[in-house]
Amino acid sequence: MPGLTIGDTIPDLDVDTTHGHFRIHDYVNGGWAIIFSHPGDFTPVCTTELGKIASNAEEFERRGVKLLGLSCDDLQSHREWIKDIEAYTVLSFSLSLTSLLCGYPIVADPKREVLKELNMVDPDEKDSTGAHIPSRALHIIGPDKKVKLSFLYPATTGRNVDEVLRVVDALQKSAAHPVATPANWKSGEPVAISPSGYQTADLPSKKGYLRFTNV
């Protein structure tokens, strides 16, 4: 992903959201955050994604992760769209309607200025006016306000929210301990380490470099 990428500090932008006006650094405020963009309001894939994220709001909160959505429409459009998202979420995930999206704000960006600063514009896809459309991008931001992981999907492909939660667990584990997480790792499974106090996989090379421990 060109431009803003892993290791970069997220720009401290002023944003207008469904929860008011604030700066991104103030919103992160020394914790973990996820910023995720959407091609547009009242679009099918985006509606399912925001609904799925809303249904997992408690899981993100349990991990200390703040959520910040972003779409290139205005606040009034966002507020009307939220009604559809809530209705869809109630039907699809058997949840009660308790203002599901009040837990996280959605940025209004009709001029697409925030999207460009956050590197969330599709380099290939354009709308009917010839303008580049927003990509289906997602940045995971650490307490130091740096990008720890980025996903970039085409507009036609919805994100896997379970995978987002999994990589949050992996990033937080590695941030807290000098470990790495192997392929398909899930919370509670062994992790790879380099110091002593581990189990070594018996490999043909006998080099003893693949080590695991429970943290």
Region of 138 (left: φ > 0; alpha: ψ -120 to 50; beta: rest) is beta
Residue of 115, 117, 118, 138 lying closest to 127 (CA atoms): 115
How do strand 132-134 and strand 136-141 relate by DSSP bridges?
unpaired
Q: Catalytic residue, from 10, 15, 46, 67: name it.
A: 46
Instruction: Give the span between the Cα atoms of 156 and 45, in whole angstroms.
Output: 7
Q: Is 46 a catalytic residue?
A: yes
| Eight-class DSSP state of 135 | P
Q: How far apart are CA 114 and CA 8, in angstroms?
A: 16
Distances (CA, A) of 203 to 200, 209, 210, 211: 9, 9, 8, 11
Helix, strand, coil abundance in the chain, percent, nearest 5: 30, 25, 40
Q: Which residues of 54-93 are buried (b: 16+ CB within 10 A; e: fewer)?
A: bbbbebbeebebbbbbbbbbeeebbeebbeebbebbbeee
Active-site residues, by number, are: 46
